[in-house]
Structure 1
Amino acid sequence: MIPNDGDVRAFIDQIEGPVRKRDAETLLHLMGRITGEPPRMWGPTIVGFGAYHYRYASGREGDASAAGFSPRKAATTVYLADGTAAHEQELQGLGEHTTGAVCLYIKDLQRVDLAVLESIIAKSYAAASASGFGQVAV
Protein backbone atom coordinates (compact mmCIF):
# COMPACT_ATOMS: atom_id res chain seq x y z
CA MET A 1 0.00 0.00 0.00
CA ILE A 2 1.22 3.51 -0.64
CA PRO A 3 0.36 6.78 1.05
CA ASN A 4 -1.96 9.11 -0.80
CA ASP A 5 -2.88 12.76 -0.71
CA GLY A 6 -6.06 12.19 1.27
CA ASP A 7 -6.94 14.83 3.84
CA VAL A 8 -6.34 13.34 7.30
CA ARG A 9 -8.33 16.08 9.04
CA ALA A 10 -11.33 15.57 6.73
CA PHE A 11 -11.13 11.82 7.35
CA ILE A 12 -11.09 12.27 11.14
CA ASP A 13 -13.91 14.82 10.99
CA GLN A 14 -16.23 12.42 9.14
CA ILE A 15 -15.82 9.54 11.60
CA GLU A 16 -19.18 8.44 12.96
CA GLY A 17 -19.51 7.61 16.62
CA PRO A 18 -18.17 9.78 19.41
CA VAL A 19 -15.86 7.09 20.88
CA ARG A 20 -14.18 6.29 17.54
CA LYS A 21 -13.76 10.00 16.77
CA ARG A 22 -12.36 10.76 20.24
CA ASP A 23 -9.99 7.79 20.03
CA ALA A 24 -8.86 8.83 16.53
CA GLU A 25 -8.00 12.32 17.81
CA THR A 26 -6.07 10.81 20.72
CA LEU A 27 -4.10 8.44 18.46
CA LEU A 28 -3.46 11.21 15.93
CA HIS A 29 -1.68 13.25 18.62
CA LEU A 30 -0.07 10.28 20.37
CA MET A 31 1.44 8.80 17.22
CA GLY A 32 2.52 12.20 15.95
CA ARG A 33 4.37 12.82 19.21
CA ILE A 34 5.96 9.36 19.23
CA THR A 35 7.09 9.35 15.61
CA GLY A 36 7.74 13.03 14.94
CA GLU A 37 6.18 12.33 11.53
CA PRO A 38 3.18 14.03 9.95
CA PRO A 39 0.08 11.87 9.48
CA ARG A 40 -0.75 10.64 5.98
CA MET A 41 -3.61 8.62 4.59
CA TRP A 42 -2.70 5.10 3.48
CA GLY A 43 -5.63 3.90 1.43
CA PRO A 44 -9.05 5.28 2.28
CA THR A 45 -9.15 4.45 6.02
CA ILE A 46 -5.65 4.13 7.51
CA VAL A 47 -3.84 7.07 9.11
CA GLY A 48 -0.12 6.31 9.02
CA PHE A 49 3.08 7.86 10.29
CA GLY A 50 6.44 7.27 8.63
CA ALA A 51 7.07 4.32 6.34
CA TYR A 52 9.17 1.22 5.89
CA HIS A 53 9.78 -1.18 3.02
CA TYR A 54 9.26 -4.89 3.58
CA ARG A 55 10.39 -7.89 1.55
CA TYR A 56 9.34 -11.45 2.27
CA ALA A 57 11.40 -14.55 1.45
CA SER A 58 8.71 -15.34 -1.15
CA GLY A 59 9.75 -12.21 -3.04
CA ARG A 60 6.62 -10.23 -2.18
CA GLU A 61 7.46 -6.71 -1.13
CA GLY A 62 5.84 -3.39 -0.50
CA ASP A 63 5.61 -0.34 1.69
CA ALA A 64 3.63 0.22 4.85
CA SER A 65 3.30 2.90 7.49
CA ALA A 66 5.73 2.46 10.39
CA ALA A 67 2.90 3.31 12.81
CA GLY A 68 -0.77 3.68 12.06
CA PHE A 69 -4.39 3.24 13.01
CA SER A 70 -7.82 2.89 11.49
CA PRO A 71 -11.08 3.74 13.24
CA ARG A 72 -13.17 0.72 12.18
CA LYS A 73 -16.80 0.22 13.12
CA ALA A 74 -16.21 -2.64 15.59
CA ALA A 75 -12.97 -1.28 17.10
CA THR A 76 -10.07 1.01 16.39
CA THR A 77 -7.23 -0.94 14.81
CA VAL A 78 -3.67 0.00 15.81
CA TYR A 79 -1.09 -1.44 13.41
CA LEU A 80 2.15 -2.76 14.94
CA ALA A 81 4.72 -3.26 12.19
CA ASP A 82 6.74 -5.73 14.25
CA GLY A 83 3.66 -7.76 15.19
CA THR A 84 1.72 -8.19 18.38
CA ALA A 85 3.84 -11.16 19.52
CA ALA A 86 6.79 -8.78 20.00
CA HIS A 87 4.77 -7.03 22.72
CA GLU A 88 3.20 -10.02 24.45
CA GLN A 89 4.46 -9.04 27.91
CA GLU A 90 3.33 -5.41 27.72
CA LEU A 91 -0.03 -6.34 26.21
CA GLN A 92 -0.86 -8.17 29.44
CA GLY A 93 -0.96 -4.79 31.20
CA LEU A 94 -2.70 -2.84 28.45
CA GLY A 95 -6.32 -3.35 29.40
CA GLU A 96 -9.29 -4.33 27.21
CA HIS A 97 -8.12 -5.32 23.74
CA THR A 98 -7.87 -8.18 21.26
CA THR A 99 -5.09 -8.93 18.79
CA GLY A 100 -4.33 -10.28 15.35
CA ALA A 101 -0.89 -10.91 13.86
CA VAL A 102 -0.02 -7.20 13.48
CA CYS A 103 -3.27 -5.62 14.64
CA LEU A 104 -4.28 -4.43 18.07
CA TYR A 105 -8.05 -3.94 18.34
CA ILE A 106 -9.28 -1.47 20.94
CA LYS A 107 -12.96 -0.62 21.42
CA ASP A 108 -12.37 2.30 23.80
CA LEU A 109 -9.05 3.96 24.64
CA GLN A 110 -10.46 4.92 28.03
CA ARG A 111 -10.34 1.21 28.92
CA VAL A 112 -6.61 0.82 28.28
CA ASP A 113 -3.47 2.17 29.92
CA LEU A 114 -2.32 4.88 27.52
CA ALA A 115 1.23 4.81 28.92
CA VAL A 116 1.46 1.10 28.04
CA LEU A 117 -0.02 1.75 24.59
CA GLU A 118 2.44 4.58 24.01
CA SER A 119 5.35 2.31 24.95
CA ILE A 120 4.16 -0.44 22.61
CA ILE A 121 3.69 1.95 19.69
CA ALA A 122 7.09 3.58 20.32
CA LYS A 123 8.88 0.22 20.36
CA SER A 124 7.08 -0.98 17.25
CA TYR A 125 7.86 2.26 15.41
CA ALA A 126 11.52 2.05 16.43
CA ALA A 127 11.70 -1.53 15.15
CA ALA A 128 10.06 -0.58 11.85
CA SER A 129 12.40 2.38 11.45
CA ALA A 130 15.53 0.30 12.16
CA SER A 131 17.80 -0.52 9.26
CA GLY A 132 17.02 -3.92 7.80
CA PHE A 133 13.70 -4.34 9.63
CA GLY A 134 11.81 -4.76 6.37
CA GLN A 135 13.80 -7.82 5.34
CA VAL A 136 11.25 -10.24 6.73
CA ALA A 137 11.76 -13.95 6.13
CA VAL A 138 8.26 -15.43 6.01
Structure 2
Amino acid sequence: MSELRTGDTLFVTAPFGRFTKTPENAWWIATGTGIAPFISMAESGEARGRTLLHGARYSERFYYQELFKEKMGDRYLRFCTMEEGPGLISGRITTFIKESDEIKPENKYYLCGNADMVVEVRQLLLTRGVPFDNIIAEIYF
Protein backbone atom coordinates (compact mmCIF):
# COMPACT_ATOMS: atom_id res chain seq x y z
CA MET A 1 0.00 0.00 0.00
CA SER A 2 2.94 2.31 0.55
CA GLU A 3 3.40 2.49 -3.22
CA LEU A 4 -0.20 3.38 -4.11
CA ARG A 5 -0.66 6.64 -5.95
CA THR A 6 -3.62 8.94 -6.38
CA GLY A 7 -6.03 7.33 -8.82
CA ASP A 8 -4.85 3.74 -8.22
CA THR A 9 -7.58 1.16 -7.73
CA LEU A 10 -7.69 -0.79 -4.51
CA PHE A 11 -9.88 -3.87 -4.04
CA VAL A 12 -11.30 -4.17 -0.52
CA THR A 13 -13.59 -6.87 0.84
CA ALA A 14 -15.85 -6.94 3.83
CA PRO A 15 -14.65 -8.84 6.88
CA PHE A 16 -15.13 -12.58 6.64
CA GLY A 17 -14.34 -15.69 8.61
CA ARG A 18 -15.75 -17.35 11.68
CA PHE A 19 -14.11 -15.18 14.34
CA THR A 20 -16.99 -12.87 15.06
CA LYS A 21 -18.70 -11.85 18.29
CA THR A 22 -17.95 -14.56 20.84
CA PRO A 23 -20.21 -15.75 23.68
CA GLU A 24 -19.24 -14.95 27.27
CA ASN A 25 -18.17 -18.51 27.99
CA ALA A 26 -15.71 -18.47 25.07
CA TRP A 27 -12.12 -19.56 25.39
CA TRP A 28 -9.60 -17.88 23.12
CA ILE A 29 -6.52 -20.01 22.45
CA ALA A 30 -3.57 -18.51 20.56
CA THR A 31 0.09 -18.96 19.75
CA GLY A 32 2.41 -16.53 18.00
CA THR A 33 0.76 -14.13 15.58
CA GLY A 34 -2.47 -16.06 16.09
CA ILE A 35 -3.14 -13.56 18.88
CA ALA A 36 -4.13 -10.97 16.22
CA PRO A 37 -7.91 -11.62 16.01
CA PHE A 38 -8.22 -11.46 19.78
CA ILE A 39 -6.64 -8.00 20.01
CA SER A 40 -9.58 -6.24 18.35
CA MET A 41 -12.03 -8.37 20.32
CA ALA A 42 -10.40 -7.29 23.58
CA GLU A 43 -10.21 -3.65 22.49
CA SER A 44 -13.92 -3.64 21.61
CA GLY A 45 -14.92 -4.83 25.07
CA GLU A 46 -15.42 -8.50 24.27
CA ALA A 47 -12.82 -9.81 26.74
CA ARG A 48 -15.18 -9.79 29.71
CA GLY A 49 -16.12 -13.32 30.73
CA ARG A 50 -13.71 -14.91 28.26
CA THR A 51 -10.53 -16.84 28.98
CA LEU A 52 -7.37 -16.46 26.88
CA LEU A 53 -4.69 -19.15 26.74
CA HIS A 54 -1.67 -17.54 25.06
CA GLY A 55 1.36 -19.65 24.18
CA ALA A 56 4.86 -18.55 23.18
CA ARG A 57 8.41 -19.84 23.43
CA TYR A 58 9.84 -16.64 24.93
CA SER A 59 8.29 -14.00 27.18
CA GLU A 60 8.94 -11.14 24.75
CA ARG A 61 6.63 -12.87 22.25
CA PHE A 62 3.50 -12.33 24.31
CA TYR A 63 2.28 -9.55 22.03
CA TYR A 64 -0.23 -7.12 23.56
CA GLN A 65 0.08 -8.77 26.96
CA GLU A 66 -0.57 -5.47 28.78
CA LEU A 67 -3.88 -5.06 26.95
CA PHE A 68 -4.95 -8.59 27.83
CA LYS A 69 -3.83 -8.24 31.46
CA GLU A 70 -5.89 -5.06 31.76
CA LYS A 71 -9.00 -6.42 30.03
CA MET A 72 -8.97 -10.01 31.28
CA GLY A 73 -7.09 -10.05 34.58
CA ASP A 74 -6.55 -13.57 35.86
CA ARG A 75 -8.43 -15.03 32.87
CA TYR A 76 -5.35 -14.23 30.73
CA LEU A 77 -2.98 -17.19 31.03
CA ARG A 78 0.50 -17.10 29.46
CA PHE A 79 2.19 -20.42 28.68
CA CYS A 80 5.92 -20.23 28.01
CA THR A 81 7.98 -23.21 26.88
CA MET A 82 11.53 -21.81 26.99
CA GLU A 83 11.52 -19.47 30.02
CA GLU A 84 10.23 -19.21 33.53
CA GLY A 85 9.18 -16.00 35.19
CA PRO A 86 6.54 -14.10 37.13
CA GLY A 87 3.07 -14.60 35.72
CA LEU A 88 4.21 -17.28 33.27
CA ILE A 89 2.98 -20.85 33.29
CA SER A 90 5.84 -23.15 32.34
CA GLY A 91 4.88 -25.54 29.55
CA ARG A 92 2.43 -25.90 26.72
CA ILE A 93 -1.23 -25.00 26.36
CA THR A 94 -1.95 -28.61 25.45
CA THR A 95 -0.87 -29.84 28.89
CA PHE A 96 -3.32 -27.43 30.51
CA ILE A 97 -6.15 -28.57 28.25
CA LYS A 98 -5.44 -32.23 29.03
CA GLU A 99 -5.51 -31.62 32.79
CA SER A 100 -7.91 -28.71 33.42
CA ASP A 101 -11.28 -29.22 35.08
CA GLU A 102 -12.41 -25.98 33.43
CA ILE A 103 -12.72 -27.47 29.93
CA LYS A 104 -16.47 -27.85 29.44
CA PRO A 105 -18.32 -29.21 26.38
CA GLU A 106 -20.80 -26.31 26.40
CA ASN A 107 -18.08 -23.66 25.98
CA LYS A 108 -16.98 -22.28 22.61
CA TYR A 109 -13.28 -22.53 21.81
CA TYR A 110 -11.60 -20.18 19.32
CA LEU A 111 -8.19 -21.42 18.17
CA CYS A 112 -5.71 -19.36 16.18
CA GLY A 113 -2.02 -19.83 15.58
CA ASN A 114 0.48 -22.45 14.55
CA ALA A 115 -1.10 -25.25 12.50
CA ASP A 116 0.29 -28.00 14.74
CA MET A 117 -1.17 -26.34 17.83
CA VAL A 118 -4.56 -25.86 16.22
CA VAL A 119 -4.75 -29.51 15.12
CA GLU A 120 -3.53 -30.84 18.47
CA VAL A 121 -5.79 -28.62 20.59
CA ARG A 122 -8.81 -29.41 18.42
CA GLN A 123 -8.18 -33.14 18.89
CA LEU A 124 -7.73 -32.72 22.65
CA LEU A 125 -10.97 -30.76 22.94
CA LEU A 126 -12.84 -33.41 20.96
CA THR A 127 -11.38 -36.08 23.22
CA ARG A 128 -12.59 -34.07 26.22
CA GLY A 129 -16.16 -34.17 24.86
CA VAL A 130 -16.35 -30.75 23.21
CA PRO A 131 -18.61 -30.94 20.12
CA PHE A 132 -16.89 -30.16 16.81
CA ASP A 133 -19.26 -27.22 16.24
CA ASN A 134 -18.01 -25.59 19.46
CA ILE A 135 -14.45 -25.41 18.10
CA ILE A 136 -13.74 -22.55 15.70
CA ALA A 137 -10.23 -22.46 14.23
CA GLU A 138 -8.00 -20.37 11.99
CA ILE A 139 -4.38 -21.11 11.20
CA TYR A 140 -1.81 -18.29 11.24
CA PHE A 141 1.73 -18.93 10.05
Structure 2 length as normaliser, TM-score?
A: 0.24
Higher strand share: 1
Return the index of the structure with the highest Cα Rg: 2
Structure 1 length as normaliser, TM-score?
A: 0.25
